[in-house]
Chain A
Amino acid sequence: MLDGTTATIKPREALRINPAKTCQPIGAMYAALGLHGCMPHSHGSQGCCAYHRSHLTRHFKEPVVATSSSFTEGASVFGGLANMTQALNNIFTIYNPEVVAVHTTCLSEVIGDDIPMMIKKATEEGIIPNGKVVIHANTPSFVGSHVTGFANMVTAMVKYLSESTGLTQTQKEANRRLNIIPGFIDPSDMRELKRIAEGMGVGFILFPDTSGVLDLPQDGHYRMFPGGGATVEQIKAAGDSLATLALGHFTSRPAAEELDEKCGVPAALLDLPIGLTNTDRFIHALRNYGGVDVPATLGEERGRLLDAMSDLHQYFHGKRVAVSGDPDHVIALTQFLVDLDMQPAFVITGSMGNHFETRIREILAEQVPDAVVEQNTDLFALHQWIKNKPVDVIIGNTYSKYISRVENIPFVRFGFPTLDRMGHRYFPSVGYMGALRLMEKINDALLDKHERECADEYFELVH
């Protein structure tokens, strides 16, 4: 009965059905939570802030705090200056964060509120205490997606905070410190990236960093500002790093370019380190830019992944996959699926950006030249394509579960948001270990369906 989708595809121009994206501000809010002691602030009406907090809470199962300018009709007519001033005053007086990261909403964008002017005024009026910082990003909901909002807030961190103190190249090389901009990934993933980099002995600054903020142990306390997060000092110092590894064209590239332009830190642009090839590239980059060796333990991790890939390759061969999600995630995963000899037949994102289609086509050029690859589309369209030409497995965020149920197709949850399973909170998708986990999930999903439905004579003990 959930099936409101027909196989007949009619062109749609004015309508979004079952979106594969959401709006900018939530991305900005998530990025801001990756700053140490940061209060994300939503400059708009209260609902936006409440929705973003609820949605993030459903994904992370963690308390998420943020404040709102609580716009009323008056503010929408006369502008939000009074609300912003009162908000900053209240936030610093009571919650006392290190940083307030302001993002806008469709409402404050349309009325044309000038946030830098408001911050300047608050500074002049002494509302922002000494040593405290207010940054902002413009995140109109009618442009881009949550991915854009994330990228905009990370870029704002660089714009407001990063500084070059004029170290010479020799001094930078002596410091051997890299910046890692991780993209819109889970705290468990950020934790894993840090583990890998630490294991290699690379000095690094990872920002934003939501590990230690949105994956807290239960210790009997509630803290509004947990211990994790990249500090203002670290982001400041990012301007003196040797190079930046920007993971993900859509989420990390803009900040890396800003850092290059502002502080002259060169950037290496990589896909997210999901799967074997992309993790290899990440580790190569860490080795080359950081001037370190790859430790034996990491080589063994890779070896174990490769061993599992060998064990399972016949199960994956030729399996048709529908992939949906955020562009950086989908690009990296598509590469891994190709490594596994699977056939990503439908590859979509709800976000916009030509790079998505270009990069996916590049990855699929040899193995799946006839794949359907589309940006700025939705899960209704994906469902229609699947109805016309079924796939063996669907990989995407929780919202894909409707398609999976209606079409009886195995489903692997991957990406944001995952509202109905717990694994993403603890087990990374990045790195060799993350690839192992993804592979296990895909294999399990395929075999579970086979074993539930096959005739008795084909039901085998050993796989």
Chain B
Amino acid sequence: MIELLPDREKQVLRKRAEAPVAEIACNKASAAGSVSQRACVFCGSRVVLYPVADALHVVHGPIGCAAYTWDIRGSLSSGPQLYRHSFSTDLQEMDVIYGGEKKLEAALLELIAHHRPKAAFIYSTCIVGLIGDDVSAVCRRVSEKTGIPVLGVHSEGFKGTKKDGYKAACEALSKLVGTGDTRDIGPYAINILGEFNLAGEAWIIRDYYRRMGLDVVATLTGDARIEDIRRAHGAKLNLVQCSGSMTNLAKMMERDYGIPYKRVSYFGIEDVSAALYEAAKFFPQDPGILERTQDLVRQEVAAIHPQLQHFKRKLVGKRAAIYVGGSFKAFSLIRILRLLGMETSVVGSQTGDADDYRQLQEICDPGTIIVDDSNPLELAKFCLEKDVDLFIGGVKERPIAYKLGIGFCDHNHERKEPLAGFVGMVNFAKEVYASVASPVWQFAPRRARRANISTPLPPA
């Protein structure tokens, strides 16, 4: 039996029927020496800003940080592809001794002259925080010379968690917001925050709002353009998905421009409908918006209903484990799985806070295991204990699920089909079905034993 690290016992709990909601320890640094699935500040900043397609992204540090984040996010752009190149100062020993400011400045001037980007983001890595490069000063100088915004992102890896990286990214973005001309923005305008256009999801969502009669000023940051971000303060409402990453910016915009924000999710029929209605109700001056929203939801739901019923018949009673970055996504996933007749047996996140975990307990069924900042051994143990049929996670979890003979759905950067919106609900059901019902699992040892399939193997 696999034990839990003593330090971690408080980060795991089991939902009990009729028991009061218990506190889970979270929001703490991972114990040194644990096989954590978590990343760093830089990672947080990089994933948030990466999709800004017409900006230059330069990683100031040794080569690794740039290499590992080169075109891995799956955020699509409808135009510029500049963001998909990997630019780095590739700091060497001499730079560490004498400082990397000159190199950074030269690199930026070269790149901006060549690519003429609309803005540049400069990511500080661990080492920059230690050798004391004044990145802000370099940014200021380069900005003056080139006439474009050059924004330092304070993303030194060790200065906190991924969440602090989100915050640093939001701070960089907030310097752009408010610098554009908003005169031609109409009265029914919104921003979409925390939507990264993985597999083209932002395009789907933007289209819904357009059909409702709303203008989307900026999407942050999926398929984003600098000019749009600069005008984002012209919107009347911010709709924030992936709350962990973008609530900071929403709060800053509320403070500075009086723009209220609402937390939404576009995953699953219930959540995406709620998101659209939330936006519609915000503009009661034009009742047409609400009417169009009702029509849209009705049409879309009717269109996908037969397919969903088809998948539900196949999936009813199957069990799932969820391990995701932000816990807000987990709420949506639990609801979607329930809609498909599936149970969530294990649920966890890398960065959930106390509120998130309280809410999770409220919506989970009794017996569900809830876990913060988990590791492969724990996840494998819980999956086997609960005998799950599906694992929903990211790149590091996929091979673990497969080794155990469990179906998998990537709900992270590597998704290939859009999972957001109504159409995304069908894609999700299809993807889950394709994996859970794959004939491959009948050959997997634990299923083969149950199905009495004889395998030509030596005795274990």
A141 and B36 contact, CB distance less than 8 A: no
A45 and B400 contact, CB distance less than 8 A: no
Residues of B within 8 A of A23 (CB): 62-65, 67
B64 and A18 contact, CB distance less than 8 A: no
Q: Total A-B residue pairs with C-beta atoms closer than 8 Å? A: 244
A45 and B158 contact, CB distance less than 8 A: yes
B89 and A142 contact, CB distance less than 8 A: no
Residues of B within 8 A of A45 (CB): 40-41, 126, 157-158
Residues of B within 8 A of A44 (CB): 126, 157-158
Shortest Cβ distance from residue B245 to the other chain A in the assembled complex, whole angstroms: 16
**Beyond the given A67-B33, A95-B377, could you list 20 further A-B residue pairs with CB under 8 A, ordered by the A residue number?**
A6-B114, A14-B89, A15-B89, A16-B86, A17-B86, A18-B86, A23-B65, A46-B39, A46-B40, A46-B157, A54-B68, A55-B68, A68-B32, A72-B160, A73-B158, A86-B33, A90-B33, A106-B62, A107-B157, A110-B131
How far apart are the CA atoms of A228 and B158 in the complex, in Å? 34
Q: Which residues between 98 and 154 of chain A lie within 8 Å of chain B, taking CB atoms?
A: 105-107, 110-111, 140-143, 145
Q: Which residues between 373 and 407 of chain B lie within 8 Å of chain A, taking CB atoms?
A: 376-377, 380, 395-396, 398-400, 402-405
How far apart are the CA atoms of A212 and B270 in the complex, in Å? 46
B157 and A72 contact, CB distance less than 8 A: no
Give per-residue flags for B80-94: 1 if the beta carbon is below 8 A from chain A beta carbons, else 0.
111011111111110
Considering the complex of A and B, which 3 residue pairs feature the smallest CB-CB distances, nearest first?
A47-B40, A23-B64, A87-B33
Interface window among B17-25, B101-109, B313-321? B101-109
Which residue of chain B lies nearest to A143 when distances are taken between CB atoms in the complex? B93
Which listed residue, B33, B160, B380, touches A89 by the CB 8 Å rule?
B33
B157 and A58 contact, CB distance less than 8 A: no
Which listed residue, B35, B41, B43, touches A51 by the CB 8 Å rule?
B43
Give per-residue flags for B410-441: 1 if the beta carbon is below 8 A from chain A beta carbons, else 0.
00000000000000000000000000000000
How far apart are the CA atoms of A105 and B82 in the complex, in Å? 29
How far apart are the CA atoms of A451 and B114 in the complex, in Å? 38
Shortest Cβ distance from residue B84 to the other chain A in the assembled complex, whole angstroms: 6
B158 and A142 contact, CB distance less than 8 A: no
- Listed by A's residue number, 23 A-B pairs whose Cβ atoms lie within 8 Å are A4-B82, A12-B110, A14-B106, A14-B107, A15-B106, A16-B66, A19-B88, A21-B63, A22-B64, A23-B62, A23-B63, A47-B40, A51-B69, A57-B396, A63-B396, A69-B32, A70-B33, A76-B130, A83-B32, A84-B32, A94-B4, A141-B127, A220-B404
B143 at the interface (CB under 8 A from A): no
How far apart are the CA atoms of A224 and B32 in the complex, in Å? 18
Which listed residue, B63, B159, B402, touches A141 by the CB 8 Å rule?
B63
A71 at the interface (CB under 8 A from B): yes
Among B64, B88, B159, residue most surrounded by chain A Cβ atoms (within 10 Å): B64
A16 and B61 contact, CB distance less than 8 A: no
Size of the B side of the interface (Cβ < 8 Å), in residues, is: 82
How far apart are the CA atoms of A343 and B88 in the complex, in Å? 32
Shortest Cβ distance from residue A44 to the other chain B in the assembled complex, whole angstroms: 7
Q: Which residues between 60 and 78 of chain A lie within 8 Å of chain B, taking CB atoms?
A: 61-73, 75-76
Task: Determine the interface band of chain A, counting residues with CB < 8 A from chain B.
Answer: 35 or more
Residues of A within 8 A of B161 (CB): 46
B444 and A50 contact, CB distance less than 8 A: no
A364 at the interface (CB under 8 A from B): no
How far apart are the CA atoms of A262 and B127 in the complex, in Å? 35
B5 at the interface (CB under 8 A from A): yes
Given contacts A50-B38, A61-B399, contact A75 B158 (CB under 8 A): yes
B126 and A106 contact, CB distance less than 8 A: yes
How far apart are the CA atoms of A67 and B111 in the complex, in Å? 37
Q: Which residues between 1 and 56 of chain B lie within 8 Å of chain A, taking CB atoms?
A: 3-7, 29-43
B31 and A90 contact, CB distance less than 8 A: yes
Residues of B within 8 A of A61 (CB): 398-399
Shortest Cβ distance from residue B94 to the other chain A in the assembled complex, whole angstroms: 9
How far apart are the CA atoms of A219 and B449 in the complex, in Å? 12
Shortest Cβ distance from residue A218 to the other chain B in the assembled complex, whole angstroms: 6
Among A12, A14, A61, A86, residue most surrounded by chain B Cβ atoms (within 10 Å): A14
B446 and A220 contact, CB distance less than 8 A: yes
Residues of B within 8 A of A52 (CB): 68
B445 at the interface (CB under 8 A from A): yes
A1 at the interface (CB under 8 A from B): yes
B257 at the interface (CB under 8 A from A): no
Residues of B within 8 A of A253 (CB): none
